[in-house]
Structure 1
Amino acid sequence: MGLDDLVNKGKELFEQNKDKVQDALNSEQAEGVSDKVLDGVSDFAKKVLPDSVDSKVDEVRANLDDKIGNQ
């Protein structure tokens, strides 16, 4: 099985289950997990980047958080 076959199979599986995937992304469990991940990544970014970009990091984190979970 080649790479193209794997990609096509992945696309097929996604299309067959996209409603379930969307429900999972909008669940309370996804919200909790995404909050922890986004908090960790943004905290790390704020430690290694200049303080002048902290507000941009917060903005990006908020935008991502709006896309995942139920809050």
Structure 2
Amino acid sequence: MGIFDRFKHNQAAQDKAADMSDAAEKKVNEKTGDKYADKVDDAQRKAEGAMGMDRDRDRPPQS
């Protein structure tokens, strides 16, 4: 079992990674004045998908 397989089955690690991903998205959007918000969101989705974190996108918007 590889590291990503263990990650996919560890909900606590996924939750922490999701929080960190959201924080990074928020910081980038702050620095760019939300100019690239759609591109940042797409990149975040792709990165999370690659790690097996296809979480529900019906979450509340980040503020």
TM-score (norm 1): 0.61
Larger helix proportion of the pair:
1
* 1:1-71 map, 5 Å: 19-27=1-9, 28-71=11-54
Q: Alignment identity in percent?
A: 15
CA contact (8 A) 1:38 1:61 kept: yes
Q: CA RMSD in A?
A: 1.7
TM-score (norm 2): 0.67
Query: What number of residue pairs does the alignment pair up?
Result: 53
CA contact (8 A) 1:34 1:69 kept: no
Residue identity in the other structure for 2:28 = A
CA contact (8 A) 2:29 2:37 kept: yes
Higher Cα Rg, which structure: 1
Aligned equivalents of 1:37 and 1:50: distance in 2?
20
Gaps of 5+ in 1: 1-18
Tell which has more relative contact order, 1 or 2 (C-alpha 8 A, sep 6+): 1
Gaps of 5+ in 2: 55-63
